[in-house]
Amino acid sequence: MGRSAAFFDLDKTVIAKSSALAFGRPFYRDGLITRRDVVKSAYAQLMFRLGGTDEQTMARTRDYLAALCKGWQVEQVRQIVAETLHELINPYVYAEAAALIEEHQAAGRDVVLVSASGEEMVRPIGVLLGITDVIATRMGVVDGRYSGEVEFYAAGPSKVDAVGELAAERGYDLADSYAYSDSYSDRPLLECVGHPSVVNPDRQLRRLAVENSWPVLEFRHPIPLGRRLRERPAVPVAAAALGVGVGVAIGIAWYGRHRRTRTAPAPA
């Protein structure tokens, strides 16, 4: 028997929001995103949500996001993430997810975050959670700026390819490993391990879980890290069991609406 691992999707599985939603706001504030980008990105995100599980839609979303980020300074992105991480991410970590991650680590399993968001966002979130291993989208970089090319897009079957490579490198027994996700687009990831569970699943994924008798978990308690430590144990993982996320578009659109509301002559 090889070692086992636990693979966690990030958005709506570990944190109660999209990481793009969180960081889209400071990206807009610092001038990386324009008003024109708001409209285009909102449309791209809508198209992904309506048909995001097919390869063509994922490819279009990947290419659009690569073009959107082209020319951004990598160090500026990292600085924005570092400065806003505790404000925008820490309060939204599900207590149930944090407890489950700790259970896997206590059992001697490596925990890996697997997310379609950019590595510059995902890796610091992993550090916040005590996770050092991440599988995330990697953008091409030339002279310290994003080139507009995607080296690796961590979505759909590509997640499984990366998980397989890591398993071969580390000696993980995937049949004895675990995976968690909220989205039907992660069906390949869930099916590649022996112990899949769905978290806050969308309709398609819930149906798939029922058909395959997979555990269905409902995470409902996002709690900041400091409060979790003071009040441990937070919410028992067992209490969450009811049965056995891309792009910066929504965050950008939300921030644009929020900013217009704040600058209006009278309060909404």
Q: Give domain status of residue 59, yes or no.
A: yes
- pLDDT (0 to 100) of residue 231: 55
- pLDDT (0 to 100) of residue 62: 81
- pLDDT (0 to 100) of residue 256: 44
Q: Is-contact 240 96, C-beta < 8 A?
A: yes
* Structural domain span for residue 28: 3-225
- Per the DSSP assignment, residues forming a β-bridge with 150 are 139
Q: Give domain status of residue 106, yes or no.
A: yes
Distances (CA, A) of 225 to 61, 130, 174, 247: 33, 11, 30, 26
Phi, psi (5° rounding) for residue 197? Answer: -140, 145
Q: Which residues are marked as active site?
A: 9, 11
List the pLDDT tens digit at each of the 268 positions of the chain. Answer: 579 999 999 999 999 987 876 787 788 888 887 767 666 665 665 555 555 556 777 777 788 888 889 999 999 999 999 999 999 999 999 999 999 999 999 999 999 999 988 999 999 999 999 999 999 999 999 999 999 999 999 988 999 999 999 999 999 999 999 999 998 889 999 999 999 999 999 889 999 999 999 999 999 999 886 665 555 544 434 333 332 333 333 333 334 444 444 444 444 3
125: domain CATH number is 3.40.50.1000
Q: Give domain status of residue 115, yes or no.
A: yes
- pLDDT (0 to 100) of residue 71: 94
- pLDDT (0 to 100) of residue 37: 67
Q: Give domain status of residue 268, yes or no.
A: no
Q: Give domain status of residue 245, yes or no.
A: no
Closest CA to 104 of 225, 197, 210: 197
- pLDDT (0 to 100) of residue 253: 37
Q: Is-contact 246 153, C-beta < 8 A?
A: no
Q: Give domain status of residue 246, yes or no.
A: no
The count of domains in the chain is 1
Q: Give domain status of residue 113, yes or no.
A: yes
Q: Give domain status of residue 43, yes or no.
A: yes
